[in-house]
Structure 1
Amino acid sequence: MTTMTAREFNQDVSAAKRAAVEGPVVITDRGEPAYVLLTIDEYRQLHGDGKDLVARLSMDEEYDDVEFEPAPLQVGLKVPEL
């Protein structure tokens, strides 16, 4: 993984882009990691298909092929002793 300072990044963005082809580039700010430069393919791989959890669980038409039959809920109520 390549590391470069924010100053180096600002002075030579092309070098950062070339390095990102080989893997993530960590850009530091005042000596601390602050940003990561990735190729779009790497980003898409990390990000997945872009759907958030709510969309995935919404059971839209897109997910009609998912079969889900929840078991009936058995709630046993008891009368408390007084």
Structure 2
Amino acid sequence: MKLVSSREFNQDVSAVKRLARSEPVFITDRGRPTHVLMSIQDFRRFSGERDNILDLLAWPGADQVALTPADRWGR
């Protein structure tokens, strides 16, 4: 867990976003945690959200994937 002040966050948002790729980042205001920044993968895992078939099919380039019959049935 990383702690970043609101001032540090405002000065370099990109750096804090990079930190959040590997672990949640707590953003503090006057020394007290007020927000948490985390990757979307961590958020989905935390919230219990799972990809559904419609989400997977909506990915850009999904229509370009060629599957053999064995791939289609997971064999």
Length-normalised TM-score, structure 2 = 0.63
Deviations along 1:18-72, whole A, 9 cap, x unmatched?
100120001001110111100000000011138xxxxxxxxxxxxxxxxxxxxxx
| Structure 2 unaligned regions, length at least 5 | 51-75
Question: Mapping of 1:39-50 within 5 angstroms?
Answer: 39-49=39-49
Rg (Cα) greater in structure: 1
| Structure 1 unaligned regions, length at least 5 | 51-82
- Aligned pair count reads 50
Where is the helix percentage greater, Structure 1 or Structure 2?
2
CA distance in 2, matches of 1:47, 1:5: 25
Give the SS at the match of 1:43: helix
Length-normalised TM-score, structure 1 = 0.58
AA at the equivalent of 1:24: P
Percent identical across equivalent pairs? 52
Please list every run of at least 4 consecutive aligned residues from structure 1 whose deviation after the TM superposition is greater than 2 angstroms: none
CA distance in 1, matches of 2:11, 2:3: 14
CA distance in 1, matches of 2:2, 2:49: 27
CA distance in 2, matches of 1:29, 1:35: 9
Equivalence for 1:34:
34
Equivalence for 1:13:
13
